[in-house]
Amino acid sequence: MCGIFGCLSNNDNIALLMLKGLKRLEYRGYDSCGMAFLDNHVINVKKDVGEIDRVNDKVNFLELKGHLGIAHTRWSTTGKVTKQNSHPHQSCDGNISIVHNGIIENYEEIKQVLTVIGHKFVSNTDSEVIAHYFEEKLKNKSINEACIDFIKEIKGTFAILLLKQDEDKIYALKRDSPLAVGICKDKNILASDIHAFSNLTNKAIFFDNDEFGIITKDSYELFNKDGKAIEKLIKSFEWKEEETGKKKYKHFMMKEIEEEPKVVDRLLRSLDYEQKNDFGKLIELIKKSKKIIFAACGTSYHASLLGAYYLHKIGVEVQTLIASEFKHYANVDKDTLVIAISQSGETMDVIDALNYAKEKNAKIVSLVNVPYSTIQRMSELSLNILAGQEISVASTKAFVNQTVLLLRIAQEFGYGVNLKNLSAKLKNLFQQKEKIRKIAKKISQSNDAYIIGRGLTYPVAREIALKIKEISYIHAEGMMGGELKHGTLALIDDGTPVISLISNSDEDIISNTREVEARGADITIITNNPTFKEQENVIYVNTGNDGKFGLLAATAGQLLAYHIADVLGRPIDKPKNLSKSISVR
């Protein structure tokens, strides 16, 4: 969940480069951050609690000198958010400094052993154990031998960068957590993902599980878990990167919502040209498979629910499962096609689901946003949704492009949808921002909100509720309209906000809307039914009944959630306790 960054350069002052690289990983965590530089064989560490800019204002990372360093931005798992628990962590003698992304599952056992033999711990994290472990091992073993032992003895997940005070090298180890080496002309960079260095190079080496490496400013050696040297191919990657900075926008989230028309057109063009062959292969795999299961989490799961709806409508049987429960509910065999959907391509629960599917000999396909991500590399075939980098934790344009790709797949099987005018309809929706803000201001005064839908709009109801929870901290529940009478009606009082998603003239959801209205609910309607168009609390979506309403209603919900959070003054791009890339179980 955290972001790690390391650099070894011919340039003696890399502090600014390190700071910029770490900023590009801040979406992975922003509880605290820190850096360790090796300068004249002395490791200097600066760290504190808070977002990177705020910590830099306090400690001034740019004062650090040296041509190699490691850095970390944290999303806390083990140990509270304190300066002592922030990274980098050091050994007792100060000769070793580490940053870590992942979870050491047997850290308490290791910590107890190390404490008995005299090691002093200053944090409550699992990660600090790593520094003391290597300090102890290196008393009578080489660093390579210590790495081999670590991989054998440690339970859990890790991407680790390690500095030794007497060596101009960075040691790196990886299991399950992502780690790549960016190959530059005058430097080597290590990072949690390619976005950290995609502005500097398009060439990278990707660590696989239970591998470790020794990296210098102009060389790299990689080894397997037994310490045998291995050759790794340098991969060239393409990364669709939008203009950096918020520009005219108050928050990245709004910038990314308004990028949706552009990224939709980019994806559709790609499916007709650059990704045409792979798209055709995916369609053939679906046709040949006896069973198809989507595996996804969070926002991506809601996109997969829409995909299942589209495909069911034309007779293609698809099941979708939340990845964390995949092995408990999926019946998988060699005739099963598992389609993983993930923005980051690093979602640990999805990776676990794919490992389970592989054990059962299922075929694996993925729809991801990050090239050469773990999920993409696990797949026999992968399509890129081409949404570009999302900085805001709340996924918006990635959700839209995931849904567009699923609609495009359904179209190949006969689902009637006109995608050519989708970007124009998204732009038209943005013209209602002031009306949406007015509705949002009213909803913001409540502690609870309910979003109801049926059929096409049920997944959208869940997605809108997720967005409201994520960034406004208002309790929101997205549900099937038909389930209101099974408990939820007891929670509806005078003024309770209910957002109703009415597709065309769906009498069932209209009836559900009247049910909650009769009990005093304050109704907001998102609809493509012109009968409601002129009503005050209505967000009108100008589209027909061809599947696009679900996607457009979701974007209307994104705007609504954004404005609710903005009225409340929430930290929209960096909501508390959340992270963009969920790389822990």
Active site residues: 2, 580
CB 336 within 8 A of CB 290: yes
Give the residues across from 538 on adjacent strands.
525
Q: Where are the alpha helices (DSSP H) in 298-432?
A: 298-313, 326-329, 348-359, 374-378, 397-412, 422-430
For the residues of 278-300, what is the DSSP string, one character each? HHHHHHHHHHH-SEEEEEE-HHH
Residue whose structure tokens are 């918020």:
246
Q: Give the residue among 359, 417, 343 at the shortest CA–CA distance from 583.
A: 343
Backbone angles phi, psi at 259, to 5 degrees: -85, -5
Q: Give the residue among 499, 515, 519 at the shortest CA–CA distance from 507.
A: 515
- Burial per residue of 401-437, b for 16 or more beta-carbon CB atoms within 10 angstroms, e otherwise: bbbbbbbbbbbbeebebebeebbebbebbbebbeebb
Tokens of 225: 């878990």
The CA distance from 541 to 234, in Å, is: 47
Give the residues across from 203 on adjacent strands.
236
The CA distance from 492 to 500, in Å, is: 14
CA–centroid distance for 537 within its chain: 33
The count of residues in the chain is 585
CA 480 to each of CA 193, 465, 495, 506: distance values in angstroms, whole numbers, following the listed order:
38, 12, 21, 13
Peptide bond into 371 cis (omega under 30): no
Tokens of 168: 């101009």
CA–centroid distance for 27 within its chain: 8
